[in-house]
Amino acid sequence: MAGNRKLPFGYKMELGKVVIHPVESAVVQQIYQEYILGASYTELVKVLREQNVTYDQGKIWNKNMIARILENRKYVGQSDWPSIITAKQYDQAARKRSSKASPPQKTAAQKILRRLSSGGSIKDIEQQVCNILNSLIVDPYQIGIQQRTLSAINRDIDLQPAWEHELEQQPVNEDNARQLAMEMAAAQYDAIGNQDYETERLRRLFQRQQPMKELDAELLQSAVSAVQIKDQKLLIRLKNGQIIERNR
């Protein structure tokens, strides 16, 4: 067929009348059938480029050509055009195009999970994260008190002899004793750290929750600081620094 086609692909003029082009119409039917069954535009282009039928002389198949065919209602016999496909086939293809054009919106939990995650499909890990958090709802005491940091413990130990020695001196140097007492208190505070407070907060948070059917955005935001997939395991880091892992 000459370039710059005047008729939609699948038709030809014969004795001044629009009729079905047998070879091209078979391709139209093929496009609709395979698209309805799940083929993408890219897959259809690849298949059609391997065939001998061209959309237009001197031009190779591309996604725009396939889109024109899938959007053209003339193929169902509109306005007295000879029908190549059924109305049902056209409607099925239209529904698929519509769903592709308007992908489902991400939920608030999915958006947060995307920010917390180091990669991978959010759809694949969302239910797993939900399951882990549900297990903490059932037993919040899986959330553990973190050990005191080694540096804080050592500092506390180092100050203890100096404190005891100072108390043995008579008269007691009140300024030195007061200073040591303040330093020991600071060391003990550092040893406790924010992690223990976070652990208690998380326990109380999960105690107030009911098991979830879907991942709750507010709980995810309040309890989790990172999500990672490593060596076929899903790792969740809670806000107290505790890592919980599950096999995928």
Other CB atoms closer than 10 Å to residue 223's CB: what's the count?
21
Q: Which of 7-16, 100-109, 177-186 has the highest mean pLDDT?
A: 7-16
Cβ distance 36 to 49 under 8 Å? no
The whole-angstrom separation of Cα 73 and Cα 233 is 50
- For 128-186, the pLDDT digits (tens) are 999 999 999 999 999 986 554 444 444 544 555 664 565 566 665 666 666 766 665 66
E strand intervals along the chain: 11-14, 17-20, 224-230, 233-238, 243-247
The pLDDT score that the predictor gives to residue 12 is 95
Tokens of 238: 């809670």
Q: Which helix (H) or strand (E) holds 25?
A: helix 22-36
Region of residue 235 (phi > 0: left; psi between -120 and 50: alpha; otherwise: beta): beta
The pLDDT score that the predictor gives to residue 193 is 56
- Judged by DSSP in three states, 15 sits in coil
Task: Name the residue with higher pLDDT: 35 or 195.
Answer: 35
The pLDDT score that the predictor gives to residue 232 is 80
Among the listed ranges 29-33, 94-98, 109-113, 192-196, which one has the minimum average pLDDT value? 192-196
E strand intervals along 127-221: none
The pLDDT score that the predictor gives to residue 15 is 93
The pLDDT score that the predictor gives to residue 157 is 46
Among the listed ranges 35-39, 70-74, 156-160, 169-173, which one has the minimum average pLDDT value? 156-160
Cβ distance 75 to 82 under 8 Å? no
Which pairing describes strands 11-14 and 17-20: parallel, antiparallel, or unpaired? Answer: antiparallel
CA-nearest of 145, 239, 223 to 191 is 145
The CA–CA distances, whole Å, from 80 to 14, 74, 75, 87 equal 16, 8, 10, 14
Q: What is the chain's mean pLDDT, rounded?
A: 84
State yes or no: pLDDT of 192 exceeds 70: no
pTM surpassing 0.85?
A: no
Phi–psi pair at 116, nearest 5 degrees? -80, -20
The whole-angstrom separation of Cα 172 and Cα 188 is 23
- Judged by DSSP in three states, 28 sits in helix
State yes or no: pLDDT of 51 exceeds 50: yes
Residue 247 pairs in a beta bridge with 233
Residue 224 pairs in a beta bridge with 238
